[in-house]
Structure 1
């Protein structure tokens, strides 16, 4: 979950004016990174061979 501190950190480098779309895009990006970190901490990852197999199926 995104915290207020993470939100503030993620937008403090924004220009003075920005669109809602830019903000939403940044927030989604930060959320996806946080989710990936949590998945890694819980061992929810793929080996290189598993990933190659999944990629081969996607590319068919």
Structure 2
């Protein structure tokens, strides 16, 4: 979840003129990165080897 602080920080890093689409894209990236970091902390990850095994099953 985004906070006002995160949104304000991202807005302050934007150029003086930007489109709403550019801001939304930037906020989506920040949210996805934060979600990924949270999942890592919670151990909700798989190894590259496990990924290879799963993909092999999908394409077999």
**Superposition TM-score, scaled by structure 2 size:** 0.83
Alignment of 1:36-51 (within 5 A): 36-51=36-51
- Whole-angstrom CA distance in 2 between matches of 1:11 and 1:54: 40
- Structure 2 gap ranges (5+): none
Size of the alignment, in residue pairs? 58
Unaligned runs of 5+ in 1: none
The structure whose Rg is larger is: 2
Greater RCO (Cα-Cα under 8 Å, separation 6 or more): 1
Q: Which 4+ runs in 1 deviate beyond 4 A? A: none
The CA RMSD over aligned residues, in Å, is 1.4
In 2, the alpha carbon distance for the partners of 1:32 and 1:44 equals 15
Q: Distance in 2 between matches of 1:30 and 1:55?
A: 28
